[in-house]
Structure 1
Amino acid sequence: MTITKYLLSAALFLFSLSAKAQQQQRLNTGWEFLRSDLGGIWEAVRPVGKGNPEASPIWEKVTLPHCVNASDAVDPDVNYYQGPAWYRTRLKIDNPYAGGRTILHFEGAGQKTDVYIYTTKVASHTGGYDEWTADITEAVEAFKKSAQFKGTVPVSIRTDNSRDLEMIPSSLSDFNVYGGIYRYLNLVYVPPVSIRQLHATPEVSSDGKTAKLAVAVQLYNPGGLTGAQLKTVLKDPSGKVIGEKSTALSSLSGNLPAAIFDIKKPKRWHTDAPLLYTVETTVASNNATHTLAAKTGFRTFEFVKNGPFLLNGQRLLLKGTHRHEDHAGVAAAMTEEMMREEMIVMKEMGVNFIRLGHYQQSRIILNLCDSLGMVVWEEIPWCRGGLGGPVYKEQAKRMLTNMIAQHYNHPSVIIWGLGNENDWPGDFAEFDKDKIRAFMKELHDLSHQLDPSRKTAIRRCDFCKDIVDVYSPSIWAGWYRGIYTEYKATSEAEMKRVNHFLHVEWGGDSHASRHSEAPDKALQSIKTGGGTDERAGDASLYGGAARVSKDGDWSESYICNLMDWHLKEQETMPWLTGTAQWVFKDFSTPIRPDNPVPYMNQKGLVERDLTKKEAYYVFQSYWAEKPMAHIYGHSQPVRWGQEGEEKMVKVYSNCDEAELFVNGKSLGRKKRSSADFPAAGLRWNTTFNKGHNDVRVVAVKGKIKTEDKITFQYQTDTWGKPAKMTLEKTAVEGNIVTLQVKLFDAKGVQCLDAADFVRFSLAGDGRLIDNLGTSSGARYVQLYNGRAIIKADTGLGGVNVAAVKCEGIPTVTLAL
């Protein structure tokens, strides 16, 4: 038996949406895990008992999905693990089909994977993001006939995310190259002849009154059977059957036409009305049937030359963001429930476009984009580093092929991304622009060969901008270069350099819960007119020219102003296709150890656990339909200034008008005007009481009224050099204690601009709830306005002592 016999082609087994329980199941439980390599497969399966207690290393019980780097990706004191890891389980396998095939279907595992049944290797795969399958039928049957079979079959899986210059993505990328079985793994039973791929190709007439749907399938027929019947059913968005076609097959190989449907008055898919049709194809052969179902949609789109984006013939301003597959506590191993929650929070912000960076993402995410109404740019992980050799190129082409084949049916997808920042060298001694251009052209042609209906795109590789259909240059006005008021002019100039311009990646970092009374101060030292792109070294926190990313305060206050300016300008750019802010959620990265939350890219509008930052509401005030109002400063318990000094209160709202109340007194009503920066005119100057203050807003949109309120302290005492800390419990819920450290000067005045790093520790039976990659879930973290929070689990009780260290300040402790 050779390994290649068990390897199936690129788009295998997209599997039925309506599969019966006995045909497909997620293998979530019953797994053991080892974060190291073994001497060989025998160490994973050899018997362990009283007579042989040291026959195997210690394995940890886990559930899938599972990421090797769930914790260490954001551990401030170690490099994240890149190397082999093992998973093992025992499965009761009972295929209900006579002569059927038993399949392990991987939705994604990183980055190289080997699959074993007992001691037999049955499959290998390279690539951490595309789906693939392992046919384990023969190996299972052989093991069942052996003396070792006791009712269950041992399955062992080795994953490996070791650094490898001949693999994509590059380890120079600004995200972790994770290891583990971090997407769902399925056990699938299929009959001897089954459908492994279904492609539905919709075409809509220019007037939108009619449409065609061509359905083609590829069959899986390892036994070489001949003859089969295909039946294809088309259902409209309400579930009504509107078409049915049958065909007899003599040959079962290759790409087989299954049906062509003519549809009158098609209900078109749109971001505001994501209407989906269902295609179900059944193959019948040898007294067994297998059904595969897929969703599809009818829509047209166009990028007007040097102009806007059209969906179904009408302009649609693409209001976008980005997503990385990353979450607090689990890293890449997000469950379906986590993914759904994230995408709904995104849609509630008003997103209608998403770039999935920088790799093929879970099928669950694409399904959600279809059903929620989000236009998609999805790309392969050719990201930074340069261009490798034949093995490297082959992987890139294979991953592009797989991505297109596996996500072909999704109406949300309009762009296949070919690369990101391919002008960034570092992995190879040679950096040859001509060779990069030649390979980019090869990928562009391959994409159009596989799918003529969609566009290609890249971001930030200026010497390749003429190759792809859509190009995004690097524009980071007000963060890496320039100031944010240069955004519109820069964008218009860049738009004129290409046929089709789409601006993806803009914004900046913010340390959640850090606020400023003078957020734009850093702009005073920034030179203008020198460009707004990102260049080598700009992301560093040290050296080089003045820039906000290095010299700014990383406050939520500044980022809200930057976002506010960009969003109000986008409403005045009639030629703009759209943009995608970078990035929706903070995510981990190995190349940013010195950030306020170490190893975190903090450009998110929400934290890594989906806690909303203030900037989320800025976007919502421009993009959301549901009436909302949000007073800036919910995570700012203390404001500061002189007694009697006028201070601004900003309200982010999509309502027509709002009335503000400070300490019970109305400051009057104001009408919203997006051209009136900041906060679209919904801002009031007022004085605060020393000490406690209450602020409330009542906003109206049509006949709907919405309210928001905050309370805070107003500090007028000025502070000197930090001298001491306090540590206190601020909440107790069962075993979970919330701890807060504050920094004061020698006179006991809180230092509200303090941004020192502090380190929490805990001695006793409990543990800190850390390594989450959030501002309140990191044991080593920069203060936000002279304070920092973390939670601790006191465990079984007894004595626990918390401590906080800060360089140059006496350590404080607290008995819990």
Structure 2
Amino acid sequence: MMRKALSLWLLAFTITSQAIKAQQTIRITNQWDFLKSDLGGPWEAVRPATEGSPEAVPLWQKVTIPHCFNDRDAVDPDVNYYQGAGWYRTNLDIKNPYQNGRTILHFLGAGQKTNVYVYTQKVGSHTGGYDEWTVDITDAVENFLKSPDAKRYKGKIPLAIRCDNTRDQEMIPSSMSDFNVYGGVYRPLEIVYTPALSFKEVHLQATTDAAGNEGQLLVSASFINALNTKDATIEINLLDPRSQVVKTVKQALTPGTAEQQITSISIKKPVRWSPDQPQLYKVQAKIISGDVTAEWTGNTGFRHFKFEEHGPFLLNGKRLLLRGTHRHEDHAGVAAAMDDATIREEMILMKKMGTNFIRLGHYQQHPLVLQLCDSLGILVWEEIPWCRGGLGGDIYKDQARRMLTNMISQHRNHPAVILWGLGNENDWPGDFPDFDKEKIRAFMSELHQLAHHLDSTRLTTIRRCDFCKDIVDVYSPSIWAGWYRGRYTEYKQESLNEIAKVKHFFHAEWGADSHQGRYAENPEFFIQKIATGKGTDERTGDFALTGGNARASKDGDWSESYAVNLVDWHLKEQETMPTLTGSAYWVFKDFSTPLRPENPVPYVNQKGIVARDLTPKEIYFVFQSYWLTQPMAHIYGHSWPVRWGNEGEAKEIRVYSNCPEAELFVNGKSAGVKKRDSQNFPAAGLRWNVALQTGQNNIRVVARNGKATVTDETTWTYQTAKWGKPVKLVVEKENQGNTTLIKVKALDANGVLCLDAANQITWSVAGNATLIDDLGTAGGSRKVQLANGQASIRVVNNTGKSVVAAAASGLTTGLTEL
């Protein structure tokens, strides 16, 4: 009965959100006006404005697309981020070169509800901030050009777009989610010109057996067929990773608008795709009718994967430990509106860490991310944003079905994808008066069947909803050993317990918040407060900084030092668990969230391996030391400006390296050679106890892997002077051309730097200079906690005099003049 209902729903549902590949695709980037407010209607966006008249207001600002209208306020420490309507407008120069062709707007993502207008005519709408969708504006453009209003636009087409991220209980994701529900046209927007007969979508299903003896490629397609053409010819070329044509198919076709199977291609011993060798085949398709030819090109890959029951993950018949992380589409200064270059930088940084798996949390992401996962060799779990809050009504469920359908349709060609995620933390109530587990189970079952109906080659998964763990193919329970519950030394046993409970296990989400630049000589001072044997799952309220059980997230110091220990322990234990499929550290990059205003960087989830601007934290190099194959070595604590202790006291110095041995030099003198042993915690045995001298110390390491050597070097200041309570802030400046770096230090009554000071400071400026703030980073927030008694921010100098101040409750304010 359920399968019949799904089939009827699929027949009735028209997929409007398709990635169009066509003859000409043009990104509409510049010449946009934006208004962070609502309007009475589209006429107010396009009406002529006379200077000095009421029609000249409100004031619009110039922007480029992609653009997020929460680019700064998402991490503004003094306000709630904006949730409401925003308008965009431009005048398009439409020049479709194809006779009887179609002109289509292709949205790669816009949040969260979007209406599109040509002049005042509404031509399309979409609900959902993460899936792609299209609007055919051909007829509306023609109608406008025939209208008397067209004359004053001199051949151009006025386009207006209204985006709205207003809170809505009947929309996913829930506003209870631990990330911002952004607004804006925050992914690229394209004009697509197609001939009258063209490809709407092409689906590739590449499979092979575990031994890789034979590969099978199924090609299906749907078409744009404006003239209802009956006779056409289609040609398919399959090219191997060396760009050699291995198969060609050419046949007659009656093109339909519904998806139809085109051909099935068999090849012997295909070159297989894997993270180490992400070999991609290319598919070239042409559809020809008369003298018009439309083309489509895409990639695919042959690989075989399997989750063993209560056992490891196999790729192409061999065990592969999935070494993963997570990604949010969020970045300093732009929020969700990341450009292509930044996305590439981020994904390459992941690969250089040794990552071979990623969970895209908690929504369908930019198509470039999937393309990079294919080409870099990163396996993917991608999911829809049914995240927290419970289960809504028919509108809510229709959106979830639609987004799952679109995600699979738009991304099923990618060989990197192995898991379709159906939800996240669906055991977390709050959006509705009733929380009915049986209704959630029923809808989860429906989505599971829908996913398999749409794509029989991948598996379904969810994270943290124990009462649904028997529904999906792969389940990830909540294990936060050493952060939200328990100690990190409990990680292995907790994982083995959970592996035994489900057929197919994966561990998504583990880690610790860390305030970049904050270190500790004794980061586990609190550890005896933490109970053991009580479980390591996260429970409602554990993310809060007050109340509840003793836990690292509340009672720890949020130092990079503790995070390094936690990560080091997890990674060394993962090497001893033959039944572990893998894990994914939460999260690769710090990201903004409305739920964490009291964090050291307000409104930022600080569990990232890198900061919100992609600056690596210390744990990045811990991951490299376990996961990377090319030789590396890193002295722990590069951004630890001042260490402290007694005169002559031996201090631990660690090196994280994947080389078999390393030699440490302190102030030019060898401290000896150490051998690496991954089970010798911490730092796999690459640690030395050496006395530092008061003042400057040069630290250098030479790591060896056979004849290959790698080196690293850093400088520390060692402070032996003891400090008391901080009483004043002292501000220093460093001119850097058009900007100035401002630093603040907390000193005691004797002028000694207070290296454990964690006061929240507030930066301000009087005069013409401007703070470079609202970035969601330790060095780019107007309010921020000190890290080892210090903090910094940059200002744009501009012209004239200015005074920059750093203030904290109970301390004398620090001032400096520019």
Same fold at TM > 0.5: yes
Q: 1:205 aligns with which of 195, 206, 209?
A: 209
Equivalent position of 1:90 in the other structure: 91
The answer to whether the aligner puts 1:810 opposite 2:815 as a matched pair is no
- Of residues 611, 617, 626, the one that matches 2:615 is 611
Map Cα deviations across residues 540-570 of structure 1 (whole Å, 9 max, x no partner).
1001111000000000000000000000000
Distance in 1 (alpha carbons) for counterparts of 2:319 and 2:343: 29
Deviation at 1:148, TM superposition (A): 2.4
Letter in 1 for 2:685: G
Compute the displacement of 1:15 (Å): 3.2
| 2:658 matched residue in structure 1 | 654
| Paired residue secondary structure (2:55) | coil
From 639, 643, 648, the counterpart of 1:644: 648
Aligned to 2:123: 122
Q: Which residue does 1:71 correspond to in 2?
A: 72
Q: Report matched runs for 1:266-415 at 5 Å.
A: 266-415=270-419
Deviations 1:285-334 (A, max 9, x none): 35322111111000000000000000000000000000000000000000
Contact 1:15–1:292 (Cα < 8 Å) also in 2: no
Offset of 1:777 from its aligned partner? 0.4
**Partner of residue 747, structure 2:** 744
Of the structure 1 ranges 243-252 and 294-303, higher mean CA displacement relative to structure 2 is found in: 243-252
Tell me the amino acid that sits aligned with residue 407 of structure 1: H
Specify whether residues 475 and 51 from structure 1 end up closer, same or farther in structure 2 by C-alpha distance, changes over 3 A only: closer
1:215 aligns to 2:219 (yes or no): yes
Read off the aligned partner of 2:278 and give its amino acid letter: P
Q: Distance in 1 between matches of 2:395 and 2:51?
A: 47
Shift of 1:8: 10
Alpha-carbon distance in 2 for matches of 1:77, 1:572 = 47
Residue number in structure 2 paired with 1:173? 177
Equivalent-residue separation in structure 2 for 1:355 and 1:286 (angstroms): 46
- The answer to whether the 8 A contact 2:210-2:305 is kept is no
Q: CA RMSD in A?
A: 1.2
TM-superposed CA distance for 1:14, in Å, is 2.4
Aligned with 1:760: secondary structure? strand
Q: Which of 450, 457, 477 is matched with 1:453 structurally? A: 457
Match for 2:316: what amino acid?
A: N
The C-alpha deviation readout for 1:201-230, integer Å capped at 9, x for no partner, is 112134312111111101122443322221
Q: How many angstroms does 1:53 deviate by?
A: 5.9
Hey, what does 1:556 align to over in structure 2? Answer: 560
Percentage of matched positions with identical amino acids: 61
1:260 maps to what in 2?
264
| Letter aligned with residue 664 of structure 2 | L
User: SS at the partner of 2:105?
Assistant: strand
Q: Distance in 1 between matches of 2:249 and 2:262?
A: 8
Corresponding position: 1:781 with 2:784: yes
Distance 1:253 1:405 in 2: 15
1:521 positional shift = 1.2
C-alpha distance in 2, partners of 1:216/1:252? Answer: 11
TM-score by length of 2: 0.97
Q: Does 1:49 align with 2:50?
A: yes
Question: Counterpart in 2 of 1:685?
Answer: 689
Distance across 1 between alignment mates of 2:363 and 2:165: 15
**Post-superposition CA distance 1:511-551 (Å, at most 9, x none):** 00000000111212101110111011111100111100000
Q: How far did 1:248 drift?
A: 1.3
Question: Is the partner of 1:810 in helix, strand or coil?
Answer: coil
> What's the secondary structure of 1:421's corresponding residue?
strand
SS at match of 2:674: strand
Where does residue 3 of structure 2 map in the other structure? none
Q: What CA deviation, in whole Å up to 9, does each residue of 1:313-367 have, x standing for no partner?
A: 0000000000000000000000010000000000000000000000000100000
Distance in 2, Cα, partners of 1:76 & 1:761:
13
Pick the aligned partner of 2:774 from 746, 762, 771.
771
Residue range with higher mean Cα deviation, 428-437 or 55-64: 55-64
Distance in 1, Cα, partners of 2:87 & 2:13 = 23
Which amino acid letter does the alignment assign opposite residue 472 of structure 1?
S
* 1: CA distance, partners of 2:484 / 2:233: 60
Q: Which moved more, 1:304-313 or 1:229-238?
A: 229-238
Question: What is the deviation of 1:13?
Answer: 4.3
**Which residue matches 2:8?**
none
Matched to 1:373, the amino acid is G
The equivalent of 1:62 in structure 2 is 63
787, 792, 800: which one aligns with 2:795: 792
Provide the C-alpha distance between the structure 2 equivalents of 1:742 and 1:51, rounded to a whole number of angstroms: 50
1:760 aligns with 2:763: yes
Q: Distance in 2 between matches of 1:366 and 1:270?
A: 15
Cα distance in 1, alignment partners of residues 547 and 18 from structure 2: 52
Tell me if structure 2 keeps the 8 A contact 1:227–1:252.
Answer: no
Structure 1: which 5+ residue stretches go unaligned? 1-6
Contact 1:643/1:690 (8 A) holds in 2: yes
Amino acid at match of 1:331: A
Deviation, 1:402, is 0.3
Which residue in 1 is equivalent to 2:736? 733
Contact 2:229/2:255 (CA < 8 Å) preserved in 1?
no
Please say which of residues 541-550 and 256-265 is displaced more in the overlay.
256-265
Task: Give the superposition deviation at 1:251.
Answer: 5.1
In structure 2, the residue matched to 1:110 is 111
Bigger mean CA offset, 531-540 vs 350-359? 531-540
Distance 1:12 1:423 in 2: 30
One of 20, 24, 29 as aligned partner of 1:15: 20
Find the partner of 1:190 among 172, 181, 194. Answer: 194
Change (3 A) 1:366 1:251: closer
Q: Kindly indicate whether the alpha-carbon contact (under 8 Å) linking 1:44 and 1:56 is maintained by their aligned counterparts in 2.
A: no
Residue 394 of structure 1 aligns to which amino acid in structure 2?
D
Q: Residues of 2 paired with 1:557 and 1:317: CA distance? A: 26
Give me the whole-angstrom Cα distance separating, in 1, the residues matched to 2:407 and 2:290.
Answer: 32
Deviations 1:371-392 (A, max 9, x none): 0000000000000000000100
Q: What's the secondary structure of 1:722's corresponding residue?
A: coil
CA distance in 1, matches of 2:178, 2:92: 38
- Cα distance in 2 for partners of 1:12, 1:263 equals 32
Q: For residues 36-86 of structure 1, what are the alpha-carbon distances to aligned partners after superposition, in whole Å with 9 as ceiling and x for unaligned? A: 000111110111134746344211000010001000000000000000000
Q: How does 1:236-251 map to 2 (within 5 A)?
A: 236-250=240-254
Q: How does 1:563-582 map to 2 (within 5 A)?
A: 563-582=567-586
1:724 Cα deviation after fit:
0.9
Aligned to 2:496: 492
Q: How many pairs does the alignment contain? A: 804
| CA distance 1:121–1:669, shift in 2 (3 Å) | same
- Maintained 8 Å contact 2:225/2:255: no
SS of residue in 1 equivalent to 2:368: helix
Residues 1:38 and 2:39 aligned together: yes
Cα distance in 1 for residues equivalent to 2:601 and 2:254? 62
Residue 4 of structure 1 corresponds to which residue in structure 2? none
8 Å contact from structure 2 (residues 229, 254) kept in 1: no
**Worse overlay, 597-606 or 636-645:** 636-645
- Aligned mates of 1:48, 1:627 — CA distance in 2: 63
Quote the Cα distance in structure 1 between the aligned partners of 2:15 and 2:560.
44
Q: 2: distance between equivalents of 1:686 and 1:338?
A: 41
Q: Which whole-Å CA distance do the structure 1 matches of 2:386 and 2:672 have between them? A: 54
Cα distance in structure 2, aligned partners of 1:207 and 1:561: 40
Q: Which runs of 5+ in 2 are unaligned?
A: 1-11
For residue 775 of structure 2, what is the amino acid of its counterpart? L
